[in-house]
Structure 1
Amino acid sequence: MTNQKTLASLAVLVQSGQLDPAALAMETLSRIESHADRSIFVGLTRERAEREAKAASARIKAGRSLGLLDGLPVAWKDLFDLAGSVTTAGSVVLADSPPAAADATVVAALAGAGMVSVGRTNMSEFAFSGLGVNPHYGTPRNPASADEHRIPGGSSSGSAAAVAAGLVPLAIGTDTGGSVRIPAALTGIVGYKATRGRYAMKGVFPLAGSLDSLGPLCHTVEDAIWADAGMHGLTAPVIRRAELGDLSIIVPETVVFDDAEPEVVRTFEAAVRRLEAAGVKVRRQPFPSFSEVFELTARHGALVTAEAHALHRERLAGPEAARIDHRVVARIRLGEKITVSDYIALLEARDRLIHETVERLKGGEFLAHPTLPHVAPPVAPLLADDDLFFKVNAKTLRNTLIGNFLDFCGVSIPCGEGAAGLPVGFLLSAPHHQDDRLLSAALALEALIRGEA
């Protein structure tokens, strides 16, 4: 019926009456059900979608639209409670849990904006992997790789694949170490990780409370801004496009380029040159705090592992452990070795490093570097070799987890192709609670980063 994919383009059709929300919902559900990759979604919310779409259709026909998002489809990572549906967090051990009694706060917010929830998307089990592999519900194929089964990135694997495959214009994911930005970069779409606490986390299954955040996966920065507004209860965005001449970025020289694929570096640097040519100020400098994040982890253990172990320790001590991906179990059990003094030392050092890093950003500069040091690797070798799995997972998470530890917000934007013609992501980041500034800058820079300006 329509091949339009962005929220903005669909909104024009829906608000003008050219596209009925009920027809759009049916088309979306049909597209999902007929898609060759059955591992992208773990469940559809057909009755809810039909009900919400019919209500949107009636409102718009009566001239009572709720706003730009009214009648548009959205999918949810399987960490978000949807009333009447079971939240499994990508794990079979939760499959027999009672259905959620109420929507998560952000689900209710987008429902209040008129969005139509069509289903739950697949993910890494308990959100504890950056690769997107799931042995229970299948590993979604990366839509950017037509021939070979390559990872979609995780943990919001199904959310990214659903958008990249054109099944939905918007999916909401979570990000504890890169789980929105990584799959967005690997599949060639936009992923926005908000500052922790920008949205209410009530009704969202946790991984590590001191790091957990969430955000949209979509096709454009504009769509991310629209979704952000909806999750805040706004009927329209208030963010304006920044002036290019007012923008300054700094490219870190520490960690983020280590062992990066040459094609990734070339593609990123080409985007930087386009920004410079357009008048954006660019400088480079080391960031010792980036290295210290990993030194702290080596000394005390990982913050995410400590908190994940506290959350799952009873589950791992019982028979359920045998039903959980053994790679997830192995990573969580590393938390057994982290003492209370280690945990406190991590929190104290984190607070110090956040302040030190912000002080190195002068005059409202943004950070910019490749979202990942590599393009999407094939799935098969990772499944055959646990050591390789853990090595690639660590490298995949490396660049993005720095932002989580330092409590940054970030937007990954496609900037071109790397090896095998696969997408490369350009990560633009800002200190915590500077989300509006970040989105304003990303809106101005997007076409240049993509090479479309």
Structure 2
Amino acid sequence: MTGAPDFTGRSALQIAAVLAAGTVDAVAVADATLKGIADCPDKAVFTATMLERARREAAASAVRHRDGRPLSLLDGVPVAWKDLFDLQGEVTRAGSLVLDDGAADADAALVTRLAEAGMVTVGKVNMTEFAYSGLGLNPHYGTPVNPWSRDEPRAPGGSSSGSAVAVALGLVPIAIGSDTGGSVRIPAAFNGVIGYKSSGGRWPLAGGFPLSRTLDTAGVLCRSVVDAVLVDAAARGLAAPDLRRGSLKGLRLIVPTNVIWDGIEPAVAQNFEAALARMVLAGAIVDRRVLPSLDAVLALSAKHGALAALEAYDLHKERLATEAPHRMDRRVVARLRAGAAIGAAAEATIRAARPQMIAELAPIFDGSTLIAFPTVPHVAPKIAALEADDDLFVATNLKTLRNTLIGNFLDWCGVSIPTGFDASGLPTALLLSGGPGRDDHLLATALAAEPVIRDATHQTDPR
């Protein structure tokens, strides 16, 4: 087959449909995707492309489709990987210059799962060094520019920065990220795409470079909730999803009235409230109330330190005692060293409090309830200002992470869905969260909620 159309900006489901129809094959899709990546003027989005692997996997997919035996609905669909997932034969750098332990002997478990579904790996995308920031800046490989920037370059969000920008630019329909404190949902919000974070243990993490072994989860950035559902099925080893579209009728949405709203920008709040009103018209019931557990999570961290900080320090403490910090992002080094101040007693308190807090909120998630609030309290900040002022960087990073990190500590699953734009044309987003292991209910409901939440009066493509 020749003459593949331009697949820029197509969703995974749209690409799957043309592959199933036989109008183009996976090789044509892969070649068009690789060409789009090569032609992209922002060279900080991808850190590596896998031409040989992509063409080999695409050729195998084309044969399967021709023979009428695709491995899944995603067979032949391109996927990009945050550069902390091992790809066989490639060095996993996690956004850093100091990781060079040689090429990976095998794919990460999640890479294997998606390969078994027939997805075609096209490359690795950029990220914050060691996944340790919610803003997405990287001094080593460059910072991918938020494609919605109009006045001056805006931050992509992190740590899955390249994953979000690659999807927002339409270079790939699917990019996989990790989420320890918001690293999928934040860049999704800043870039106007869908970001789904799985709850703990749903997706395999073996072969991924960790930040916090307790809080790390994986997720997907994509163009629709349907795409997230398809990827979730593949990540769990299923050929097709095992959940159906839910309904907004009778859905109870708990909207916290505390902490989430501190320092929120007017457009973020306005777009959230407008989306919420549309959901009410579709049958949802809004329950506004104080959730003391949210304040408790932040108070615990303020008093004793963050669980992610102590686990990140433990992972990197030997590296910090070498010359390596001189070749690392100074802001990441500072955050890592701060974890050393968290002593054994504080760690014990934090670890004992977490399951108690999770249990306290368990009754809320009764199968008909989700929690809703703005994903991030502000739109994407300007890169230049963050680069020029480390104090501003620290303050902005903490505010950026505040809403989402609560969900990581409480093991919530979450889907960030665009709600519209501010006056400068920058995306805003709403976060739907479900309890531990409630991913099926969350995703089923998000399928119904997405067209209601999205502001149809605004464009969905920054190009």
* TM-score, scaled relative to structure 2: 0.96
Contact kept, 8 Å, 2:417 with 2:454, in 1: the verdict is yes
Residue 147 of structure 2 corresponds to: 143
Residue 65 of structure 1 corresponds to: 70
Residue 252 of structure 2 corresponds to: 248
Residue deviations 1:19-67, cap 9 Å, x none? 1110110110110011000000110111100100011111111222112
Deviation of 1:419 after TM superposition, in Å, equals 4.0
Matched residue type, 1:162: A
Q: 1:121–1:302: structure 2 CA closer, same or farther, 3 Å change rule? A: same
Deviation of 1:2 after TM superposition, in Å, equals 2.5
Contact kept, 8 Å, 2:367 with 2:441, in 1: the verdict is no
Contact kept, 8 Å, 1:274 with 1:451, in 2: the verdict is no
- Tell me, in whole angstroms, the C-alpha distance in 2 between the residues paired with 1:7 and 1:424: 23
Residue 357 of structure 2 corresponds to: 353
Q: Does 1:307 align with 2:311?
A: yes
Deviation of 1:369 after TM superposition, in Å, equals 0.2
Aligned partner of residue 415 in structure 1, secondary structure: strand
Q: Choose from 124, 127, 131 the match for 1:123.
A: 127
Q: Does 1:39 align with 2:77?
A: no
Matched residue type, 1:172: I
Contact kept, 8 Å, 1:145 with 1:422, in 2: the verdict is yes
The more displaced of 230-239 and 218-227 is 230-239
Residue 160 of structure 1 corresponds to: 164
- Tell me, in whole angstroms, the C-alpha distance in 1 between the residues paired with 2:68 and 2:438: 36
Q: Does 1:406 align with 2:410?
A: yes
- Tell me, in whole angstroms, the C-alpha distance in 1 between the residues paired with 2:358 and 2:239: 33
- Tell me, in whole angstroms, the C-alpha distance in 2 between the residues paired with 1:192 and 1:218: 9
Q: Does 1:18 align with 2:54?
A: no
Residue deviations 1:139-178, cap 9 Å, x none? 0000122442100000000000000000000000000000
Q: Does 1:52 align with 2:23?
A: no
Q: Choose from 76, 82, 96 the match for 1:91.
A: 96
Residue 75 of structure 1 corresponds to: 80
Contact kept, 8 Å, 1:375 with 1:419, in 2: the verdict is no
Matches within 5 A, 1:204-353: 204-353=208-357
Q: Choose from 431, 436, 439 the match for 1:432.
A: 436
Aligned partner of residue 304 in structure 1, secondary structure: helix
Residue 461 of structure 2 corresponds to: none
Q: 1:35–1:437: structure 2 CA closer, same or farther, 3 Å change rule? A: same
The more displaced of 278-287 and 217-226 is 278-287
The more displaced of 195-204 and 181-190 is 195-204
Q: 1:361–1:11: structure 2 CA closer, same or farther, 3 Å change rule? A: closer
Deviation of 1:209 after TM superposition, in Å, equals 0.7
Q: 1:160–1:196: structure 2 CA closer, same or farther, 3 Å change rule? A: same
Q: 1:46–1:442: structure 2 CA closer, same or farther, 3 Å change rule? A: same
Residue 370 of structure 1 corresponds to: 374
Matched residue type, 2:180: T
Matched residue type, 1:145: S
Unaligned runs of 5+ in 2: 458-463
Q: How many residues align?
A: 452
Residue deviations 1:354-383, cap 9 Å, x none? 111223456631000000000001100000
The more displaced of 186-195 and 147-156 is 147-156
- Tell me, in whole angstroms, the C-alpha distance in 2 between the residues paired with 1:142 and 1:61: 39
Residue deviations 1:391-435, cap 9 Å, x none? 000000000000001110000000111241211111000110000
Contact kept, 8 Å, 2:250 with 2:368, in 1: the verdict is no
Q: Choose from 368, 371, 384 the match for 1:380.
A: 384
- Tell me, in whole angstroms, the C-alpha distance in 1 between the residues paired with 2:92 and 2:366: 43
Residue deviations 1:96-131, cap 9 Å, x none? 321110000110011011100000000000000000
Matched residue type, 2:176: I
Residue deviations 1:425-450, cap 9 Å, x none? 11000110000000001001111101
Aligned partner of residue 294 in structure 1, secondary structure: helix
Contact kept, 8 Å, 2:150 with 2:425, in 1: the verdict is no
Residue 30 of structure 1 corresponds to: 35
- Tell me, in whole angstroms, the C-alpha distance in 2 between the residues paired with 1:451 and 1:147: 23
Contact kept, 8 Å, 2:365 with 2:434, in 1: the verdict is no
- Tell me, in whole angstroms, the C-alpha distance in 2 between the residues paired with 1:41 and 1:401: 26
Residue deviations 1:276-331, cap 9 Å, x none? 11111111000111111111111111110000000000000101111110100000
Contact kept, 8 Å, 1:287 with 1:357, in 2: the verdict is no
Q: Does 1:134 align with 2:117?
A: no
Q: 1:361–1:228: structure 2 CA closer, same or farther, 3 Å change rule? A: closer
Unaligned runs of 5+ in 1: none
Matched residue type, 1:76: W
Q: Does 1:5 align with 2:27?
A: no
- Tell me, in whole angstroms, the C-alpha distance in 1 between the residues paired with 2:57 and 2:365: 45
* TM-score, scaled relative to structure 1: 0.98
Deviation of 1:452 after TM superposition, in Å, equals 4.0
Aligned partner of residue 372 in structure 1, secondary structure: coil
- Tell me, in whole angstroms, the C-alpha distance in 2 between the residues paired with 1:406 and 1:53: 39
- Tell me, in whole angstroms, the C-alpha distance in 2 between the residues paired with 1:58 and 1:245: 44
- Tell me, in whole angstroms, the C-alpha distance in 1 between the residues paired with 2:149 and 2:88: 35
- Tell me, in whole angstroms, the C-alpha distance in 2 between the residues paired with 1:146 and 1:223: 28
Q: 1:83–1:363: structure 2 CA closer, same or farther, 3 Å change rule? A: closer
Contact kept, 8 Å, 2:244 with 2:444, in 1: the verdict is yes
Contact kept, 8 Å, 2:412 with 2:434, in 1: the verdict is yes
